[in-house]
Amino acid sequence: MVRHQPYREIGMTRPDDLPALAEMSARIGADPLLIQGPGGNTSVKDGAVMWIKASGTNLADALTRDVFVPCDLPAMRLAMEKGEARADQPAEFALVQGGLRPSIETSLHAVFPQRVVVHVHCVNTLALAIRRDAGPALAERLGAFRWAMVPYAKPGANLAAQVQAVLTPGMDVIILRNHGLIVAAETVAEAEVLLGAVVTAVTAPALSLHAAAGLAAHADASYDALPDDHPLHTVARTPHLLQAALAGSLYPDHVVFCGVGANALSAQETPISAAARIVAQGLPQPAFLLVPGQGALIHKDANAGAIALVRCLGDVLVRLAEGAVVRPLTDAQNAELLNWDAEKYRQVLNAG
C-alpha cells in the first residue's frame, strides 16, 4: 500500500474534472479489449499541472485508489524541447516526492495541447497497427477523423517527439504503430466519445475456436492449458494466425510481461523442455506456449500482468485479417524493452 503526501499540504488543488477522469478511466480500464494490466494511461491538464496515471497502477482501480499524480507540465515540456535526457525520467517532474511515479508515457501526454488525453492499447487498433500495411489499412477506416500514425519507438520521450512532429492544429487521434491509440479532447466526456467512435471504426470480427481435446495431454508441472474460451487457442489452431504469432513481438507490453514473441512446442517437446530451450537462448522464460493445432498453455506462475498480456495477444490476433502480414519488433527493439529500468520497476510493482 503506497501512501501519498496529502496534496492539500503542498498547496495543490485537484481539477474539478479529476473525478470524471477517474470514472472514465475505471470504465475503460475494466475493458480488456482497451486496457491490459497496468497498460494505458489517462491525463488532465490544469494550468501548469498535468495529472497523470502513475506507473504500475491500473486504470481499472481509478475509483478505489489514488492512481493520478501531479506533474510539472512546463518543466517537462521544456526538458523535451531541449532534448534533455531527464525528459525520459518522468519522476523528475512529479510534484509530490516519494509517492508513486508518473507514467513512463507522461511525455506522450505532455505534447498534446488538449486538456484531456487518453492512451489505450486497443486490440482492434493493434490488429491493424501491427500490419506491414498499417497505414493504408487504417486510412480505409479512419477517413472521418483528424488522425496520423507515428512509427514505432520505445515508449518515452523519443516517441513523444515523433507524435509532436506530426501533430497539426485540431488533430486529436494518433495511432502509435505496433503500440496503440491516443485520443485527445478538451473535456473528459468528449474524449470518451471520440475514443468510442475510433474504436467502432476499427473494430473487426473475431475468430473463435475452442482448444482441441488433445491439449490437456500437453500440460505438465510448469504449464497448464488456458481456459477453454481463451482467444489464444484460436491462434494456435489457425495456421495464418499461428504464423503471425510466431513472427515475433508485436507491441511493447507483450515483451515486458510475456517475453520475446511467441514460442511453439515442437514435436516430442514437453513445455518444461521447450522453456529450457528458450531460456538457454538467453531469452526470458516464456509466459505461454502455443501447441500448433491444439491450443495454448500458460506458465503456472504467470503474474497478473502476464495473464492480461497473454489474453491480449489472442484478442489482437483473432482480429487480424486473413492475408494480412504482420511487422514484428526487431531484435534491437526487443532488447531495449527488456533492459529498461522503468519497465522493470513497473513489472515489480505489478507482480505484488
**Residue 226 CB contacts under 8 Å (≥ 6 apart), including other chains:** 211, 232, 233, 288, 295, 296, 297, 298, 310
Listed ranges 28-36, 78-86, 174-182, 261-269: which one lies at the site for Zn ion (CB under 5 A): 174-182
CB-nearest residue to Zn ion: 180
Nearer Cβ to Zn ion, position 34 or 278? 34
> Contacts with Zn ion: how many residues (CB under 5 A)?
1
Nearer Cβ to Zn ion, position 29 or 180? 180
Q: At its nearest, how many Å lie between Zn ion and the CB of residue 247?
A: 21
Alpha-carbon torsion (219, 222, 226, 232), positive or negative: negative
Q: At its nearest, how many Å lie between Zn ion and the CB of residue 49?
A: 22
Query: From residue 127 to residue 166, what is the string marking binding to Zn ion with x (rule CB under 5 A)?
Result: ----------------------------------------
Q: At its nearest, how many Å lie between Zn ion and the CB of residue 161?
A: 16
Alpha-carbon distance of 4 to 173, in angstroms, equals 33
158 three-class SS: helix
Alpha-carbon distance of 217 to 8, in angstroms, equals 59
Query: From residue 180 to residue 199, what is the string marking binding to Zn ion with x (rule CB under 5 A)?
Result: x-------------------
CA–CA distance from 272 to each of 167, 209, 211, 225 (Å)?
Answer: 48, 26, 20, 14
Q: At its nearest, how many Å lie between Zn ion and the CB of residue 117?
A: 12
Q: At its nearest, how many Å lie between Zn ion and the CB of residue 162?
A: 13
User: DSSP letters of 166-185?
Assistant: H--TT--EEEETTTEEEEEE
Count of other CB atoms within 10 angstroms of residue 137: 17
Q: At its nearest, how many Å lie between Zn ion and the CB of residue 179?
A: 6
Nearer Cβ to Zn ion, position 181 or 278? 181
67 three-class SS: coil
Listed ranges 71-79, 123-131, 158-166, 175-183: which one lies at the site for Zn ion (CB under 5 A): 175-183
- What is the footprint of Zn ion within residues 216-235 (CB under 5 A)? none
Nearer Cβ to Zn ion, position 180 or 259? 180
Q: At its nearest, how many Å lie between Zn ion and the CB of residue 274?
A: 30
Listed ranges 50-58, 177-185, 264-272, 286-294: which one lies at the site for Zn ion (CB under 5 A): 177-185
Q: 70 phi and psi, to 5 degrees?
A: -85, 140
Q: At its nearest, how many Å lie between Zn ion and the CB of residue 24?
A: 17
In the chain, helix, strand, coil percent, each to 5? Answer: 45, 15, 40
Nearest to 90 by CA among 122, 52, 63, 119: 52
Query: From residue 39 to residue 58, what is the string marking binding to Zn ion with x (rule CB under 5 A)?
Result: --------------------
What b/e sequence results for 236-251 when a residue is b if at least 16 CB atoms lie within 10 Å of its CB, and e otherwise? Answer: bbbeebbebbbebbbb
Alpha-carbon distance of 199 to 348, in angstroms, equals 31
Nearer Cβ to Zn ion, position 180 or 305? 180
Listed ranges 15-23, 135-143, 179-187, 265-273: which one lies at the site for Zn ion (CB under 5 A): 179-187
Nearer Cβ to Zn ion, position 176 or 236? 176
Instruction: Provide the grid cell at 40.
Output: 494505458
Q: At its nearest, how many Å lie between Zn ion and the CB of residue 232?
A: 21
Strand 223-225 versus strand 295-299 pairing type: antiparallel
Nearer Cβ to Zn ion, position 240 or 327? 327
* Residues engaged in binding Zn ion (CB under 5 A): 180
